[in-house]
Amino acid sequence: LKLIGSDGVDLAQTWKTNPAGYFGIAAHGFPNYFIFIGPNTPVAQSSITSCIDWEADYILKWAKKIQEEDIHSVDVTQGAVDDFNTYAQEFMERTVWKEHCRSWYKSGKVNGKVTAPYPGSALHYKEMLDELRPEDFAIKYNTRNRFSFMGNGFTKRESLGEDLSYYLEK
């Protein structure tokens, strides 16, 4: 199965020599594409099932935002990918994963980039995924005005004739 991005780039070919993603869940040039257990996820620091659960929650937050705000596509920026991977490699310099040995987490190289483990603890990874960082993404909307999702200016509660003072404390 080939995964071809918006610029005609094959993700497998790109990652064959340099697996560089964004928190292991997104790749630049692949709009609306989110993955599980990509490069630099806590595969060595935690249970994989916990990581998948946290990643699923993060992806669902994006799905909700995309649906509610009439977004056409989200694509992590190359700058965000580059900055994350620079941080990751600088972090790895202080770890045993950077030691002189050939390993799968260095793409089979003795002195390669550490592309498998996350640059931090599993709990740190979870907390980084707790909130979206829309500033790291190029967002395209379905309309020319990003605020068109606001509709007619009234809430669903108002349209259904529900309690309009629900926010007042008793």
The DSSP element (H or E) to which 12 belongs, if any, is helix 11-17
Predicted TM-score (pTM) of the model is: 0.89
Angle 65-67-69 from CA coordinates, rounded to 5°: 60
Q: What is 11-159's CATH topology?
A: FAD/NAD(P)-binding domain (3.50.50)
CA distance 26 to 117: 16
Contact 10, 53 (CB under 8 A): no
Closest CA to 74 of 128, 130, 146: 146
The single residue listed with the structure tokens 């709009």 is 31
Q: Tell me the average confidence (pLDDT) per consecutive run of 10 residues in the chain, 170 residues long.
A: 94 91 98 97 93 98 96 98 98 93 88 93 98 98 92 91 89
The secondary structure of residue 10, as a DSSP letter, is B
**How do the domains of the chain map onto residue ranges?**
11-159
pLDDT in tens, 37-78: 999 999 999 899 999 999 999 999 999 999 999 999 999 999
